[in-house]
Amino acid sequence: SAQRASTRAIGSRAMASRAIGSRTTRARRATPTRALRNFDYPEALLFDCDGVLCETERDGHRVTFNKTFKEFGLDHEWDVALYGELLKIGGGKERMTHYFDGVPDAEPWKSVTDPEARKELVKKLHLRKTEMFLELVNEGALPLRPGVKRMVAEALEHGAKVAVCSTSNEKAVQGIVNTMLPEYADRMPVFAGDVVPKKKPSPDIYNLAAKTLGVDPARCVVVEDTHIGCTAAKAAGMRCCVTKSIYSEDEDFSRADAVFDCLGDEGDERVKFHQLTTPGDFWLNPPLPVDYDGNWYNADKEEDPDDG
């Protein structure tokens, strides 16, 4: 009857209104609740590596860059502050090239002037640096950050795909995953290094991951620790949850969807996987749910269900 239909419509609208935390106490749209994807879990959880899985930058990459310079007879040493500035450049080879370009009268650029020869030298330096870095990883000198293992397990339990997307060398990233998360490594594909032409803040690495995994970018959640990483995730149309690292404490995360000091181990969780829903209460700017026609649901918009 018309009365029963009206009652169902009112109930559906009220449920949808509560789900998105609307200030309006009475929703007016006639979209049935079953057509709203109110509490979707992410299809994929994508982790950056350095600074997210482990605090690798200060005591891992920086240290092995310096060891490499010394081994090759180069009079360069990146202190903690300088390396923090260099992290604004995505990718290890790109970072070295940027630095050497800034000191052209010092070795190796003083002697190596041909552009192609410079590229080959940087590749050689980076290869050796990666070998040293992997030695540190295999020694267990770089532990996982709080909550990483827990969140990976929760995501896989909920049927989500999990991957690592990094600008770092693929061998180095795979080494961290294999060593620190051995029980999940076969279910955590790695997208890293030169697999895409442009490094972060370009969204290329995240676009590739979404396409390869067969997931909707809008239903991917990225865990990042830097401004350039967050920029890449957002440019790919994904949500970004930031866990601040040693070097990124003071960076601009105004575009992030959530910001934490870490994910938090069991009993001290900052967020759990089941809270990464659409919408989710902890998001800084929770979006409205969409109906199956792809239309945003707005409980504040007044529509008469009998119109049209």
- Do residues 192 and 225 both lie within one domain? yes
Look at the block and give the residue holding tokens 């640096």: 129
User: Which position among 50, 204, 225, 257 bears the catalytic label?
Assistant: 50
**Residue-level pLDDT at 7:** 42
Q: Tell me, what CATH number does 269's domain have?
A: 3.40.50.1000
Same domain, 258 and 166: yes
**Each residue's pLDDT tens digit, 106-130:** 999 999 999 999 999 999 999 999 9
pLDDT at 90: 86
Phi/psi of residue 17, nearest 5 degrees? -65, -45
Residue 37 covered by a domain: no
Alpha carbon of residue 44 to chain centroid: 11
Ordered DSSP codes for 254-284:
TT-SEEES----TTS-S--GGG--BS-TT-S
The domain in which residue 260 lies consists of: 44-55+144-275
Provide the domain count of the chain.
2
Q: Which of 40, 48, 216, 293 is catalytic?
A: 48
Among the three residues 70, 105, 138, which one is the final residue of a domain in this structure?
138
Q: How is residue 72 annotated by DSSP?
A: T
Q: What percent of the chain has pLDDT over 90?
A: 69
Per-residue pLDDT, 281? 59
DSSP β-bridge partners for residue 223: 47, 241
Q: H/E/C letters for each residue in 187-224? A: HCCEEEHHHCCCCCCCCHHHHHHHHHHCCCHHHEEEEE
Same-domain pairing of 51 and 193? yes
* pLDDT single digits (tens) 208-251: 999 999 999 989 999 999 999 999 999 999 999 999 999 999 99
Residue 48 annotated in active site: yes
pTM of the model: 0.74
More confident residue, 78 or 7: 78
Same domain for 50 and 78: no
Last residue of a domain, one of 138, 154, 178: 138
Residue 176 located in a structural domain: yes
253 and 161 in a single domain? The answer is yes
Contact 60, 136 (CB under 8 A): yes
CATH at residue 116: 1.10.150.240
Q: Let me know whether 199 and 271 are in one domain.
A: yes
